[in-house]
């Protein structure tokens, strides 16, 4: 069977293109996140996997849990229900957010450092990354003492390892080859 993210891709792309054309990226982002949370609930999963429950009833459950859906959102839920794809909402929401971030020229950056970064250090890193990636930067930081020193940066598919641990690993590899 195809990977869930592969199956979810056309639905995420369709939702994104519609939301973009209507100028409703934020609304659809919220709607998809709410639906993803709803289908992640074990009680809802039991209903969605029950073959005795009709597609209309399954869509109704999601629509009841997410009352802020507009008419097009409810139609989207109904469409997914009719093709038995309601369980894909988490993957659809994730891919929608990726497309939205790309459209808005924004990237989430995860910075792992050996020690807590000051606001000034975070600002300098954000400015350098913004210049390098040519995108707006949204930083999340965490501390990992095993890095010894330096930082490990994850920005989408890009990884920048400026940690002492990483440099020691490269040195050990060079010495062993």
Answer yes or no: is pLDDT of 162 > 90.
no
User: Same domain, yes or no, for 110 and 93?
Assistant: no
Of 59, 79, 101, which residue constitutes the final position of a domain? 101
Of 54, 78, 101, which residue constitutes the final position of a domain? 101
Provide the CATH number for the domain around residue 15: 1.10.520.20
User: Same domain, yes or no, for 93 and 114?
Assistant: no
Domain count, the chain: 2
Which structural domain range is residue 72 located in?
Answer: 4-101
Taking only Cα atoms into account, the Rg of the chain, rounded to an integer number of angstroms, comes to 21
User: Same domain, yes or no, for 93 and 61?
Assistant: yes
> What would the pLDDT profile of 16-62 be if each residue is shown by its tens digit?
999 999 999 999 999 999 999 999 999 999 998 999 999 999 999 99
CB neighbours of residue 131 within 10 Å: 10
Average pLDDT, the chain: 90
Nearest to 77 by CA among 16, 20, 36: 36
**Which residues neighbour 56 within 8 Å (Cβ) at sequence distance 6 or greater?**
78, 81
Beta bridge partners of 53: none
> What would the pLDDT profile of 68-106 be if each residue is shown by its tens digit?
889 999 999 999 999 999 999 999 999 999 899 888 888
User: Same domain, yes or no, for 11 and 96?
Assistant: yes
User: Same domain, yes or no, for 141 and 126?
Assistant: yes
Residues 161 and 168: their CA atoms lie apart, in Å, by 11
User: Same domain, yes or no, for 11 and 86?
Assistant: yes
Q: What is the pLDDT of residue 82?
A: 93
User: Same domain, yes or no, for 93 and 34?
Assistant: yes
């Amino acid at each position: 069977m195809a990977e869930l993210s592969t199956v979810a891709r056309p639905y995420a792309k369709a939702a994104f293109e519609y939301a973009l054309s209507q100028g409703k990226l934020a609304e659809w982002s919220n709607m998809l996140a709410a639906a993803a949370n709803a289908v992640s609930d074990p009680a809802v999963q039991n209903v969605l996997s029950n073959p005795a429950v009709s597609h209309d009833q399954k869509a109704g459950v999601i629509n009841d849990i997410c009352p802020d859906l507009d008419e097009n959102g409810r139609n989207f839920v109904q469409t997914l229900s009719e093709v038995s794809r309601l369980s894909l909402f988490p993957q659809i929401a994730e891919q929608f957010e990726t497309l939205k971030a790309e459209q808005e020229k924004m990237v989430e950056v995860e910075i792992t450092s050996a020690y807590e970064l000051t606001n000034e250090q975070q600002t300098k890193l954000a400015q350098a990354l913004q210049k390098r990636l040519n995108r707006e930067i949204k930083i999340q930081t965490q501390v990992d003492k095993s890095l010894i020193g330096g930082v490990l940066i994850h920005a989408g598919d890009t990884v920048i390892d400026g940690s002492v641990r990483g440099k020691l690993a490269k040195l050990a590899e060079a010495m062993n080859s």
